[in-house]
A and B are shown apart, each in its own frame.
Chain A
């Protein structure tokens, strides 16, 4: 009852100067909202990164061919580099912890159907590829063992590519034309849409699977071969590459690191070109978690600074209030207020300011996700060129509110009110009541 009265009095006193109180609240509001927003955005980014890495699979190891720097390539003729089928056989047959492994060959090609042409990626693989990379078939079927063995000209196409190449008809049974090799591939399956995966190898961009066509690797070997020759600017450049990637699945997640080390050693002793990179998604995942932690600490620091500024605002206003209400303090002391009563009175006012700021800030924080999504939609709708030039992280951003950030923000705001209100409150209480009564205002 008594405390309610103190609270009521505090609110009344603050309402004597509504604009001033509002501006003070604004400082805390911005601080608290920024805590929640910054944490939500960093959490959103890291969740997306983790999802991408997890989609690679924690029990997989990727061995990729890396094109050697130009000075190591022959200026004339064809330079062979990268993983070979022989190496693939060696890894599969000699390392017992590898449960299964998929050889992958990727080539950029144009695909045509009737008048429509699309630049995309032809991926030669084995039937296990769908399972290891978690591809989901929408219609038809994925490449079968028989199709691979018999080097049949069939293909499975990604959802977006299907939509672009066959906008008005069912792709199944149609034949996709590859002009560079004058070949036709019959579509036997269409995949469901698949999100991007984390970057592996050289590029920072995440892997995009939206323009992929999957064909049996043996068919690709037969129809296209290992040698790629490019004519450019009067010179012919050729390179010979048997496999772009081997994706190995390990029998147990605990064996991933040791297996990766064995693979690295085995390939290093077999090949002196340093043209192979071993990527372990598990390590990427752990890296991403560390990055997330650092990001959160950094964001927290930024938010803490804005809260500090808000707190100083409260202290400033409370000091002004105390000076302005010296007379009132004197009256209250004369009428029986103890020093503790005066401290409490001004602390309550400071706490009311910061808690109101905190609660409104939390409410604003909860709107983070819809606001960011709307903002992204607005940008993509009205400023598409600017939006496209934004980094991929920003374009894909969906903030995820960290549940702990809400109580934390609330208690921080109370804490700030008390900490920054204490000094002015004590100063008020320490005033000599006689001088305070004589104070003219």
Chain B
């Protein structure tokens, strides 16, 4: 069976001045294709380090890290960049869209770095924008979109390169509960379509939506448990309960207009 990602005895050490910080002290687990994993843990547990390693933004000190068939543990900077553009879909807490680009252009960015830009690719980006419900806003800039809409663009962008897995880092951390529910529902749909999702979160009700929860503590794997499918459904149903919106939350639905400087 091919795993979307396979980790063997992964270690990462940082040298800060004279002190050596052992952020990961030998973590091993597999993520099969189509899985939906939530990675949890208190701050300092090593979950950010693990996320950076999974995202090919950093190299492990030792251990094996397989993404699909690619062993990325010993790759050069350029090779890692190549993997990031072809095989990983990032979704960040703060959306991380490029301000001067439109919705479609933002979705296109990973393809741009693969050197693949054409009518076919453009069509695919438009389809993805439609898939996440932004078909009407193709030429909008990020500043003209609400937080939830921006995160949808980010999700569409993470799908454009047909990645091994979507790597979501606190993807709902900046969103109100209603938008959170919408985004999580979108993740559910994508997972149902067969997409692998790895999500870092510290919110229990977000983690409850995953198929499986991996907990880290002090750089080691603390637990790796499957969520009860029934409990997942209940959590999903609960999230869609009508919530009485406060004025603050209503304000959050308005498009944000970031001041341009």
B90 part of interface (Cβ distance < 8 Å) = yes
Given contacts A1-B117, A335-B90, contact A434 B96 (CB under 8 A): no
User: Contacting chain B: which of A86-94, A280-288, A324-332, A375-383?
Assistant: A324-332
Measured in the bound complex, the distance between the Cα atoms of B191 and A335 in whole Å is 21
Q: Are A338 and B113 in contact (CB under 8 A)?
A: yes
Measured in the bound complex, the distance between the Cα atoms of B96 and A157 in whole Å is 86
B212 part of interface (Cβ distance < 8 Å) = no
Among A327, A328, A335, contact of B110 (Cβ-Cβ < 8 Å): A335
Kindly list chain B residues whose C-beta atoms are within 8 Å of the C-beta of A437.
Answer: 57, 92, 96
A341 part of interface (Cβ distance < 8 Å) = yes
B28 part of interface (Cβ distance < 8 Å) = no
Chain A's closest residue to B116 (CB) is A2
B180 part of interface (Cβ distance < 8 Å) = no
Kindly list chain B residues whose C-beta atoms are within 8 Å of the C-beta of A2.
Answer: 112, 115, 117
- Shortest Cβ distance from residue A198 to the other chain B in the assembled complex, whole angstroms: 60
Q: Are B85 and A16 in contact (CB under 8 A)?
A: no
Which chain B residues numbered 109 to 143 have a C-beta less than 8 Å away from chain A?
109-110, 112-115, 117-118
A12 part of interface (Cβ distance < 8 Å) = yes
Q: Are B57 and A331 in contact (CB under 8 A)?
A: no
Q: Are A336 and B86 in contact (CB under 8 A)?
A: yes
Chain A's closest residue to B55 (CB) is A334
Interface size range on A against B: 20 to 34
Measured in the bound complex, the distance between the Cα atoms of B100 and A434 in whole Å is 22
Measured in the bound complex, the distance between the Cα atoms of B58 and A16 in whole Å is 31
Which chain B residues numbered 144 to 172 have a C-beta less than 8 Å away from chain A?
157, 161
Given contacts A12-B100, A331-B98, A437-B92, contact A336 B57 (CB under 8 A): no
Kindly list chain A residues whose C-beta atoms are within 8 Å of the C-beta of B82.
Answer: 336, 338
A270 part of interface (Cβ distance < 8 Å) = no
B99 part of interface (Cβ distance < 8 Å) = yes
Which chain B residues numbered 64 to 112 have a C-beta less than 8 Å away from chain A?
77-78, 81-82, 84-86, 90, 92, 96-101, 109-110, 112
Which chain B residues numbered 3 to 36 have a C-beta less than 8 Å away from chain A?
none
Interface residues contributed by chain B, number (CB under 8 Å): 30
Kindly list chain B residues whose C-beta atoms are within 8 Å of the C-beta of A334.
Answer: 55, 57, 84, 90, 96
Q: Are B157 and A434 in contact (CB under 8 A)?
A: no
Which chain A residues numbered 40 to 89 have a C-beta less than 8 Å away from chain B?
none
Measured in the bound complex, the distance between the Cα atoms of B110 and A335 in whole Å is 5
Measured in the bound complex, the distance between the Cα atoms of B55 and A148 in whole Å is 105
- Shortest Cβ distance from residue B14 to the other chain A in the assembled complex, whole angstroms: 11
Chain A's closest residue to B48 (CB) is A434
Q: Are A16 and B112 in contact (CB under 8 A)?
A: no
Kindly list chain B residues whose C-beta atoms are within 8 Å of the C-beta of A328.
Answer: 98-99
Among B58, B85, B96, contact of A336 (Cβ-Cβ < 8 Å): B85
Kindly list chain A residues whose C-beta atoms are within 8 Å of the C-beta of B61.
Answer: none
Q: Are A333 and B115 in contact (CB under 8 A)?
A: no
Q: Are B117 and A339 in contact (CB under 8 A)?
A: no
B260 part of interface (Cβ distance < 8 Å) = yes
- Shortest Cβ distance from residue B171 to the other chain A in the assembled complex, whole angstroms: 14
Q: Are A337 and B113 in contact (CB under 8 A)?
A: yes
Given contacts A2-B112, A336-B84, A341-B113, contact A433 B101 (CB under 8 A): no
Measured in the bound complex, the distance between the Cα atoms of B86 and A433 in whole Å is 17
Q: Are B77 and A331 in contact (CB under 8 A)?
A: no
Q: Are A16 and B84 in contact (CB under 8 A)?
A: no
Kindly list chain A residues whose C-beta atoms are within 8 Å of the C-beta of B110.
Answer: 335-336
Q: Are A335 and B115 in contact (CB under 8 A)?
A: no
Among B100, B113, B260, contact of A13 (Cβ-Cβ < 8 Å): B100
Among the interface residues B84, B92, B101, B114, which one has the most CB atoms of the partner chain A within 10 A? B84
B52 part of interface (Cβ distance < 8 Å) = yes
Q: Are B101 and A12 in contact (CB under 8 A)?
A: yes
Q: Mark contacts of A191-206 with chain B using CB atoms, 8 A cut-off: 1 yes-contact digit, 0 otherwise.
A: 0000000000000000
Q: Are B117 and A335 in contact (CB under 8 A)?
A: no
Chain A's closest residue to B157 (CB) is A335
- Shortest Cβ distance from residue A58 to the other chain B in the assembled complex, whole angstroms: 63
Given contacts A2-B112, A5-B117, A341-B113, contact A336 B99 (CB under 8 A): no
Q: Mark contacts of B40-64 with chain A using CB atoms, 8 A cut-off: 1 yes-contact digit, 0 otherwise.
A: 0000000000001001011000000
Among the interface residues A9, A13, A327, A335, which one has the most CB atoms of the partner chain B within 10 A? A335
Measured in the bound complex, the distance between the Cα atoms of B157 and A331 in whole Å is 12
- Shortest Cβ distance from residue A16 to the other chain B in the assembled complex, whole angstroms: 6
Measured in the bound complex, the distance between the Cα atoms of B92 and A17 in whole Å is 26
Q: Are A9 and B84 in contact (CB under 8 A)?
A: no
Chain A's closest residue to B89 (CB) is A335
Measured in the bound complex, the distance between the Cα atoms of B246 and A93 in whole Å is 118
Kindly list chain A residues whose C-beta atoms are within 8 Å of the C-beta of B109.
Answer: 331-332, 335-336
Q: Which residues of B contact A (CB under 8 A)?
A: 52, 55, 57-58, 77-78, 81-82, 84-86, 90, 92, 96-101, 109-110, 112-115, 117-118, 157, 161, 260
4 smallest A-B Cβ distances: which pairs?
A336-B85, A336-B113, A338-B81, A336-B84
- Identify 7 residue pairs between A and B in the complex whose beta-carbon atoms are under 8 Å apart, listed by A's number: A2-B115, A13-B100, A335-B109, A336-B109, A336-B113, A434-B52, A434-B57
Q: A12-B100, A335-B90, A340-B78 are in contact. List 20 more A-B contacts (CB 8 A).
A: A1-B117, A5-B112, A9-B101, A16-B260, A328-B98, A333-B57, A334-B55, A334-B90, A335-B84, A336-B84, A336-B86, A336-B114, A336-B161, A337-B113, A338-B82, A339-B77, A339-B81, A433-B57, A434-B57, A437-B57
